Amino acid sequence: MEEERALFPISGDDAEASQTAPLADRLRPRTLEEIVGQAELIGPGKPLRRLIERDRLASMLLWGPPGSGKTTLARVIAHHTQAHFLRFSAVLGTIKEIREAMLLAEKLRRAQGRRTILFVDEVHHLNRAQQDAFLPFVERGDVIFIGATTENPSFHVIAPLLSRCHVFVLKPLSDDDVLLLLRRALAD
């Protein structure tokens, strides 16, 4: 399993194991079993969980409210897969950087037969031209596209990209889920 590579590093990634890291980073789940909530998607025997455990992922969109675990789920997927993992910020990224990432993915697929998972956080911020830049690489299977969004993908993701992705809807955490997380935080 290769370590994830960030096109735009997110602060705190290197400090996750450190006791001086922010509480959210220290408590961030690293396995499917540690994720709180979303049992209908990743509970034992559920289709998304089976795809993750078998490393048989297809492109997907994770749609849910803030705090529902979209980014966390993408990170857990990254740690469970044998694919190369890249993160891309839809807010900061340019078309040039998208193309560079896609060319790297294409080279890895041709040279090593290895797929790349490209995680795009806040995918609803990408404009049409940026989304179009991903399309040929998703169609050829050079990348497994995982987009995270708080907005309805039907309105914010272009139809050709949307049609090539499974859409998984994450629900807000229940009161019991939040209570469990608070207990974990107090124990830390």
Residue that is written with structure tokens 């190369």 in the block:
84
Please state, as a whole number, how many other Cβ atoms lie within 10 Å of the Cβ of residue 163: 8
DSSP structure string for 108-122: HHHHH---EEEEEET
* Residue 115 near residue 144 (C-beta atoms within 8 A): yes
- Domain harbouring 148, CATH code: 3.40.50.300
188 residues of the chain, pLDDT tens digit each: 334 455 544 444 444 456 788 887 888 899 999 999 999 999 999 999 999 999 899 999 999 999 999 999 999 998 888 888 999 989 998 889 998 999 999 999 999 988 899 999 999 999 999 999 999 999 988 899 999 999 999 999 999 999 999 999 999 999 999 999 889 888 87
The total of structural domains in the chain comes to 1
Expressed as residue numbers, the domain containing 164 is: 5-187
Q: Tell me how many helices (H) and strands (E) the chain has.
A: 9, 6
